[in-house]
Amino acid sequence: MCKKIIFISIGLIITDQIIKKIMLNKQIEIIKNIFYLEYLQNNGIVFGIKMNNCLVIFLSILIILIFIKIINKYKYLTNSISLIFAGSISNTIDRIIRGYVVDYIKIFELPIFNLADVFIIIGVLIFWKKFIFEIINKNKENDNNNNSKEYRR
């Protein structure tokens, strides 16, 4: 389980880091006026919101440690944890090595982002979907158990 998360995460981190190296100081038009690959140094957090770099690194490492802690408890969240883990680590690598995060995906006039950001967003969406479904299923089980106990009385 943990090996699967590490294996998936390493592949995703390597992919993001290779693209970041390729994109240094470049702009590539993929679909005119819609989709570009454009190099940007992001000194902030998501969407360029400014925050102290040391604080961001600390929070990133804290999030990574939290996910390491919950890996074994929630085995059904392997894919989402892998995505969040990979995105967090890849952007943390940027902050430690470069002092900023390399962003490179530009769609329309949205803020520029990177593949690691996409990993995190998709991972969080999967996490919440699975987590919420587990809560709903547990509530249904509890309701069914309570109903069957009432029926027996």
pLDDT digits (tens, 9 = 90+) for 83-132: 988 998 899 899 889 989 999 999 998 889 999 999 999 998 998 888 78
| Active-site option among 16, 94, 103, 143 | 103
Residues 58-71 have a mean pLDDT of 75
Question: Is 117 noted as a catalytic residue in this protein?
Answer: yes
Reference 132, options 77, 84, 61; nearest CA is 77
Residues 9-27 have a mean pLDDT of 92
Residues 67-95 have a mean pLDDT of 81
pTM of the model: 0.75
pLDDT at 7 over 70: yes
CA separation for the pair 127, 61 (Å, rounded): 19
Domain positions in the chain: 2-152
Tokens matching residue 42: 């992001």
pLDDT at 151 over 60: no
DSSP 114-127: -HHHHHHHHHHHHH
Q: Are 104 and 19 in contact (CB under 8 A)?
A: yes
pLDDT at 152 over 70: no
Stretch among 62-66, 140-144, 148-152 having the lowest mean pLDDT: 148-152
User: Residue 49 has what pLDDT?
Assistant: 65
